[in-house]
Structure 1
């Protein structure tokens, strides 16, 4: 879930050369938050590591005040903020009476800007006053210096429109995330999966009226294809590679895992039946617990 942060100053997205989809945020005005910026010459730029730490500190303070969540007449949950060192911040709620029962909420810090501030980059939306967001994100290309000023752009509105009224496609996306979690593929991030589905929907590579299970099989085939190439375009920024953080060995490992899952799913499809053991193997215990 994107969590919008409003800055008390003016922010201008500045494209990062040779890295499509990435920007720096130049700050100007009388109320620049000096504790969140780097000073370069006469200019100020938002430091993604500083703003992530600031956001996490505020979340931690709120959690300390709440401590626990009580569901009326049911269970009590202990709250904890977990950070994996990547884009998202996760609040994990653990049931006190049943520690195996957990609920997780992901928050992604985002800074809004209008496409009119950067029209040449988004020509397909230049006449649309829909907001875009800059999300703190390290440039994941190999052998690239860690730029603490880098942000990646996204557009929740256009992503929502691409999946609108395609419930089976959205269900297939959720299934893809579940099998990712159950089969130890942490570097296939949620936005990697979302980009896969968004691109497939936009170029009509898939019939979204199919059942979610058949959609899932098709999307696994596509994911293997992109992993083999080592390139999956970021939705609406086609020159940007969502898989740039994956090395060749990691891609090969994930391809093998996905091939194994694909064979099992095809067997289930052919016999028109999925057993409890199949569900546990493909999607993990968490899927069964949520039913």
Structure 2
């Protein structure tokens, strides 16, 4: 078996069956729909502000590897007043609220927004909730995430357990992009919105929201099957060596590929592409810098503890050596992937 044939077989092994995916996502959507309806009943302000939920991350890009039991959802809110995004450090914006009737402008405070959302969710979850979905009885519990930036709902049944993280987001049009033009075609920016996400970062203050445009990024890679296969394989390597690759997120690996999506010949051999992209990951870990894809200059690796980055670098180098040797040997591939 050649190295490329081995990788193709691993891709088959890493795939989640469409039936498993549907069963889990159907249950998660039904549970969240119920919670949303209860939130609307319990709090009139939430009823006015809530717009929609959207799946994000690996589900959106269809590169999810693990059992589909953990979901990240963007909870989109809309305010009844004008909100203008203002660029801060690369990758972050403040949201300036303009209150028409009192002629006042001020930056929205993340802590105040999260305290309000927490109080609304506590109205629905004074204690655990029992729900029956898809013939299964789930016990739902709620707790705020770290620093109140995410709201976590756990759903436990005798057949499966689900974990759902809710992140509050605020949507803007492409014409409201406050930075220099991103490496995304104008037609994509016109067609899809971008988001300001309330997500904690220890390096930012209480008025900073993280910029994200999952639909822009998805449009760039959705038809690039080789890129997505390479990303799946990189995630498989990470998952097989998770304890030795602490804090290495799927989005970090995706960003490595996004930076090269328009310049790499993706028609090349799958094994060559995997080795090349993993070597770029090693370079970023070694340099300690991985720029944000949309805004440049910022550094995703800043979110890693320095000691963990060193561990990741050492492990990634060992794996790169193994990949190169396997590609040359074309016969020894055991224990490389989960």
TM-score using structure 2 length: 0.62
Output the CA distance in 2 between the equivalents of 1:119 and 1:84: 28
2:249 to 169, 189, 193: 189
Q: Is the 8 A contact 2:91 2:210 kept in 1?
A: yes
Cα offset, 1:9, TM superposition: 1.8
Q: Whose RCO is larger (CA < 8 A, sep 6+)?
A: 2
Aligned residues: 258
Q: Which residue of 2 aligns with 1:122?
A: 181
Cα offset, 1:162, TM superposition: 1.2
Q: Which residue of 1 aligns with 2:223?
A: 165
The yes-or-no answer on 1:132 pairing with 2:194 is yes
Q: Which residue of 1 aligns with 2:168?
A: 109
Q: Is the 8 A contact 2:128 2:141 kept in 1?
A: no
Higher helix share: 2
For residues 198-254 of structure 1, the C-alpha deviation after alignment (integer angstroms, 9 at most, x for no partner) is 1121332x626644x664443322111111111111112112221122344332111
Q: Which residue of 1 aligns with 2:97?
A: 27
SS at match of 2:86: strand
- Structure 2: give runs of 5+ residues left out of the alignment: 1-55, 57-73
Could you say if the C-alpha distance between residues 119 and 246 of structure 1 is closer, same or farther in structure 2, counting changes exceeding 3 Å?
Answer: closer
For residues 167-198 of structure 1, the C-alpha deviation after alignment (integer angstroms, 9 at most, x for no partner) is 34224334434544551345333432332221
Output the CA distance in 1 between the equivalents of 2:317 and 2:174: 40
Cα offset, 1:133, TM superposition: 1.0
Cα offset, 1:273, TM superposition: 6.3
Output the CA distance in 2 between the equivalents of 1:86 and 1:188: 22
Could you say if the C-alpha distance between residues 26 and 92 of structure 1 is closer, same or farther in structure 2, counting changes exceeding 3 Å?
Answer: same
Q: Which residue of 2 aligns with 1:13?
A: 85
The yes-or-no answer on 1:200 pairing with 2:263 is no
Cα offset, 1:65, TM superposition: 7.5
Cα offset, 1:117, TM superposition: 2.9
Could you say if the C-alpha distance between residues 218 and 123 of structure 1 is closer, same or farther in structure 2, counting changes exceeding 3 Å?
Answer: closer
TM-score using structure 1 length: 0.70
Could you say if the C-alpha distance between residues 244 and 216 of structure 1 is closer, same or farther in structure 2, counting changes exceeding 3 Å?
Answer: same
Q: Is the 8 A contact 1:166 1:209 kept in 2?
A: no
Output the CA distance in 2 between the equivalents of 1:216 and 1:85: 37
Q: Is the 8 A contact 2:94 2:209 kept in 1?
A: yes
For residues 1-50 of structure 1, the C-alpha deviation after alignment (integer angstroms, 9 at most, x for no partner) is 2332212221101122xx21211001113589xxxxxxxxx532222233
Cα offset, 1:156, TM superposition: 2.1
- Structure 1: give runs of 5+ residues left out of the alignment: 33-41, 284-291
The yes-or-no answer on 1:254 pairing with 2:312 is yes
Could you say if the C-alpha distance between residues 57 and 217 of structure 1 is closer, same or farther in structure 2, counting changes exceeding 3 Å?
Answer: farther
Q: Is the 8 A contact 1:234 1:241 kept in 2?
A: yes
